[in-house]
Structure 1
Amino acid sequence: ALVPVLPYWSFQVRPIHIVYPGNKHLSARVRCFVDWSIALMKVNPSVRMSPSELAESLKE
């Protein structure tokens, strides 16, 4: 059985940046990760992009 070790511990939300070359030929792995990250940020209230960042990401 799992036993809570630090039940009162919490982490501080920190920004995450996805940085990759601006060319159109991303590897399938990078494209998959970027797409997954965008989808996660759309539905998870604790991990969100600003509206302008989200709009920019959807252009591709």
Structure 2
Amino acid sequence: MNPSFVVELLIFAICFLLSVIVGIVAGLISHRPDAPKGPGFLYAGGVFGSSLTLCLVALSTLGML
């Protein structure tokens, strides 16, 4: 089954937004009140990138993208 471009775009948007939420939560969990915000942002960015990559690889393996 080969989904249309619009369906693939929607699936990518869902993966992107899910990864943003995971990155925000990870950044909030890793941040300490007395520490600067920079390391929290970097950690959240890394988790976002890893989550998006994992999601897209899993969907590609399943043949959805």
User: TM-score normalised by the shorter chain: which range applies?
Assistant: 0.3 to 0.5
Larger Rg: 1
Q: Higher relative contact order by CA 8 Å / sep ≥ 6: 1 or 2?
A: 2
